[in-house]
Structure 1
Amino acid sequence: MNNIFSDRISDVPKSFIREILKIAVNPDIISFAGGLPNKKLFPVSELQEVTNYVFESSGQEALQYSNTEGFLPLRKIIAERYKEKKGIKILPKNILITNGSQQGLDLLGKIFLNKGDEVILEEPGYLGAIQAFSVYRPFFKTVKLLDSGLNISEFSKVLSSSRPKFIYTVPNFQNPSGISYSDSNRKKISNLIRERELFLIEDDPYGDLRYTGQDKVSFKKLIPEQTILLGSFSKIVAPSFRIGWVVASDQIMDKLIIAKQASDLHTNYISQRILYQYLIDKDIEQHIKKIKDKYNSQRKVMLNSIEKYFPAEVTTTTPEGGMFLWVTLPEEISAMDLFNIAIEKKVAFVPGGPFYINKDDINTLRLNFSCVDEENIEIGIKRLSSAIKMAMN
């Protein structure tokens, strides 16, 4: 029966993270594997209050079909936040509300990619993007990430030897590495792209979650005509709403709307109405500050615990924000082998392999610090350190 399925689905990898989460549900396991926001920080009572208001004031309308582009007042708020926080002028008509930013990736793949088209990805890269684009059977070209961003020499060589449709980036607190591109790195990337017929996708789900350092310039300011923005409320309000968005030019937006109509007509309308009511009635910036204070505390505990317990041969990134940090083991240590030892010691993480294209036996791994309390972070890092020492012996 295997030949009944399409060729394209055979090329799409399973979400290894989702498979790991099945193992990590054991309550005895301290899991650094998920990329989940901390559920204790969800604004439950505020959302319940505004939900009641939406049903009482406009329930019949809010339960009806809606337009594909998304609730206009919500798109206006997103545009206003770009102007206030990043100094970028965006018109609401250039914003499409999507079913999470993951759907944005799928729609972009749908409108841009034919089989065999080239796409540039960061290495390591976001697993969700690898999955979404793989459906369209492109040829992935990867560029290594350094502490300051893309390896410019590698990027230049890839551009010289190929004709990619777009490059996909997570320049702020990248998933999985936690690194952020420096302003200098962004300018060099922009200068190289400006010379070519090439789009840059700037995916920014973590941009509001900065704990230290200064905000960096958006590619949308550097190369506005060639930048497509992706955003999400999943990390700063609630992921179950599945409210994300794409910012694109008129020409691209026309194609995205057609693709979305073919996919699901429109994003969950009642969620859009509830989220909009929350944003106008409540103080989102105060809520974001609460999240940032908590995650920063958890980040510090993880970094301090790593310094305290990990062998000196193990290195990590030091993220200025977001939800992840990246661990590099000695070259001879397989992160997958380490994972099996770690599970025995009741601690979980994501081995680095799924974040690479066609590479196995990787010596890197991702840790999430947003979803475990401070006390258990130290316990979990101590367990992981014990597993690493076993793997090294």
Structure 2
Amino acid sequence: MNSKYIKIMEDIKLRLAGGSLNAGSKLPSVRQLSEYFSCSKNTVIKAYDELEKEHLIYSVPKSGYYVVNDYQKEAEENGVIDFLSAGPDKNVMPYVEFQHCMNQAIDHYKEELFTYSDQQGLYPLRVQLVKYLQNLQVFTQPERLVVVSGSQQALHLLVSMPFPNGKNNILIEQPTYFGFIESINLHQATTFGIELSMEGIDLDRLEYIFRNNDIKFFYIIPRFHNPLGHSYTNGEKKKIVELAEKYDVYIVEDDILGDLDPNPKSDPLFSFDPSGRVIYIKSLSKIFLPGLRIGTVVLPALMMNNFLRYKFSSDFNSSALSQGALEIYLKSGMFNSHLKKVKEVYRTKMQILQDACELLLPANTSFSKPNSGFYLSISLPEHVKAKQVVHMLNEQHIYVDDASRMFLAEYKKENLVRLCISQVNESQIKLGVERLAHCIALLDSRKKHSTPNNFLLI
């Protein structure tokens, strides 16, 4: 596969995103680019043709190629600053590369596309996933993997199915991923909470809950937690696994953002698990293409048959075409190149966000300080409600998330705002935080000067 034209495309996209190429700008001639990249003119023409298909450039006969869109300014001109959306950055998604993999998958997996494929997932994909997981310090075998239709499906099934320990209740961090809270609510599962801050959880409290509350499993997001951005230390992870072993509790580890960890010595809970106590869930939705709906779960052998039975009742098997294309993409090595790029993008955005929060937020707020990932949370003054902030900012086309939906009722906090950096432009981050800070200060001032009847001054 000729990858030189892909390199040319990526270079042009980076220039568009960085603002050095604006709407209407004329691009270098085919001859100039072929000399610059030391490639044939046909390679440059192919790159330009693909960019035209993506509606990023257009050609003028006998004149050359021109830019259609101005990536960096498009959202700004629409007046939108998006700290709400949690999908991956659209500007770094490998659409063209993956299109090739889809086409190859159609040729290679013809039979599987028109039959019900392996319920556990395509075996060649499971082999590639095992190799991929090794980079995350998860060492397992294809026989212990199940391909699922996104991590949410795995979580939903685990809530409903019985576990080998015969226990019934679930423990979750507070706050936690709202999709999991939806699953436990739908299943009416008895659920306990344990408070999480950027300093972690109280391990003595964790042991008390394990010992006294018939816990089936503990659902935990150990790296770049949603919504706090918190990450556990290796020592804390090891202790949690030891307590789970001592009290016969399973751990469901949601490591959806583990790929973004800049610390090569940070390990998942799974790596401290000698007995099959940790169920490891991994999805590519946040760093790759969420529309694929492909994730994987690593299960202890004694849970495999039961899990497959529950999955069969849900959807028979996950998309064979998506699985085949992902297998080809992983095997080609293109994923590693993509991952290196997105790690730097998100790390840079998070640093810009933290610097802006440090500089601009009022002194009576506090915020979490993750070193990467998607999420940063801000604790507002106690009497300022997150829903007020969300409403006021919405009117300015600035979107943030009220994190109150991420708590169980008895733990609910109404003054926590979550910011997600994945789809906001770098150039908009500081402006967004500046307006957020002004909003907090205004609401804080209104509350302090409210009438005895506690009406807000308008």
What TM-score does the superposition give when structure 2 sets the normalisation length? 0.76
**Once the two structures are aligned, what percentage of the paired residues are identical?**
27
Cα distance in 1 for residues equivalent to 2:438 and 2:252: 40
What letter corresponds to residue 441 of structure 2 in structure 1?
Answer: K
- 1:194 alignment counterpart: 245
- 1:371 alignment counterpart: 423
- 1:237 alignment counterpart: 288
Cα distance in 1 for residues equivalent to 2:247 and 2:205: 16
SS of aligned partner of 1:150: coil
- Cα-to-partner distance string for 1:225-251 (whole Å, 9 max, x where unaligned): 210000012123211000001110111
What letter corresponds to residue 380 of structure 1 in structure 2?
Answer: G
- 1:21 alignment counterpart: none
- Match for residue 270 of structure 2 among 205, 220, 233: 220
- 1:305 alignment counterpart: 356
- 2:307 alignment counterpart: 256
How far residue 338 of structure 1 moved from its aligned partner, in angstroms, is: 1.7
1:156 aligns with 2:207: yes
- Match for residue 235 of structure 2 among 184, 189, 194: 184
- 1:17 alignment counterpart: none
1:362 aligns with 2:414: yes
- 2:144 alignment counterpart: 94
1:390 aligns with 2:437: no
1:93-112 mapped onto 2 (5 Å cutoff): 93-112=143-162
Cα distance in 2 for residues equivalent to 1:333 and 1:154: 30
Cα contact 1:328–1:363 (8 A) shared by 2: yes
Task: Give 5+ residue unaligned stretches, structure 2.
Answer: 1-74, 446-458
- 1:6 alignment counterpart: none
Cα contact 1:299–1:370 (8 A) shared by 2: no
Cα distance in 1 for residues equivalent to 2:278 and 2:148: 18
What letter corresponds to residue 379 of structure 1 in structure 2?
Answer: L
How far residue 361 of structure 1 moved from its aligned partner, in angstroms, is: 5.4
Cα contact 1:148–1:185 (8 A) shared by 2: no
Cα distance in 1 for residues equivalent to 2:273 and 2:110: 42
How many residue pairs get matched? 365
Cα contact 2:136–2:258 (8 A) shared by 1: no
How far residue 52 of structure 1 moved from its aligned partner, in angstroms, is: 1.7
1:85–1:165 CA distance, 2 compared to 1 (3 A)? closer
- 2:391 alignment counterpart: 340
SS of aligned partner of 2:215: coil
How far residue 127 of structure 1 moved from its aligned partner, in angstroms, is: 0.6
1:292 aligns with 2:343: yes
- Cα-to-partner distance string for 1:27-75 (whole Å, 9 max, x where unaligned): 5331211211111111011011122222234434434321110011111
How far residue 303 of structure 1 moved from its aligned partner, in angstroms, is: 1.0
How far residue 190 of structure 1 moved from its aligned partner, in angstroms, is: 1.9
Cα distance in 2 for residues equivalent to 1:143 and 1:312: 28
How far residue 339 of structure 1 moved from its aligned partner, in angstroms, is: 1.4
Cα contact 1:187–1:222 (8 A) shared by 2: yes
Cα contact 1:176–1:324 (8 A) shared by 2: yes
Cα distance in 2 for residues equivalent to 1:33 and 1:53: 35
Cα contact 1:345–1:387 (8 A) shared by 2: no
The structure, 1 or 2, with the larger RCO (C-alpha pairs under 8 Å, 6+ apart) is 1
Cα distance in 2 for residues equivalent to 1:326 and 1:364: 7
| Residues 38-47 or 145-154, more deviating | 145-154
1:326–1:166 CA distance, 2 compared to 1 (3 A)? same
Cα contact 2:385–2:415 (8 A) shared by 1: yes
Cα contact 1:148–1:182 (8 A) shared by 2: no
1:190–1:361 CA distance, 2 compared to 1 (3 A)? closer
How far residue 163 of structure 1 moved from its aligned partner, in angstroms, is: 0.9
- 1:265 alignment counterpart: 316
Cα distance in 2 for residues equivalent to 1:58 and 1:160: 49
Cα contact 2:136–2:259 (8 A) shared by 1: no
1:84–1:382 CA distance, 2 compared to 1 (3 A)? closer
- Cα-to-partner distance string for 1:278-326 (whole Å, 9 max, x where unaligned): 1112421111010011111211111111122111111111112211111
Two-structure CA RMSD over aligned residues (Å): 2.0
What letter corresponds to residue 53 of structure 1 in structure 2?
Answer: Q
1:361–1:78 CA distance, 2 compared to 1 (3 A)? closer
Cα distance in 2 for residues equivalent to 1:27 and 1:248: 46
- Cα-to-partner distance string for 1:66-108 (whole Å, 9 max, x where unaligned): 111001111111112223441x431111100000000000111
What TM-score does the superposition give when structure 1 sets the normalisation length? 0.88
How far residue 207 of structure 1 moved from its aligned partner, in angstroms, is: 0.3
Cα contact 1:166–1:201 (8 A) shared by 2: yes
- 1:322 alignment counterpart: 373
Cα contact 2:384–2:444 (8 A) shared by 1: yes
| Residues 364-373 or 55-64, more deviating | 55-64
Cα contact 1:148–1:180 (8 A) shared by 2: no
What letter corresponds to residue 56 of structure 1 in structure 2?
Answer: D
- 2:256 alignment counterpart: 205
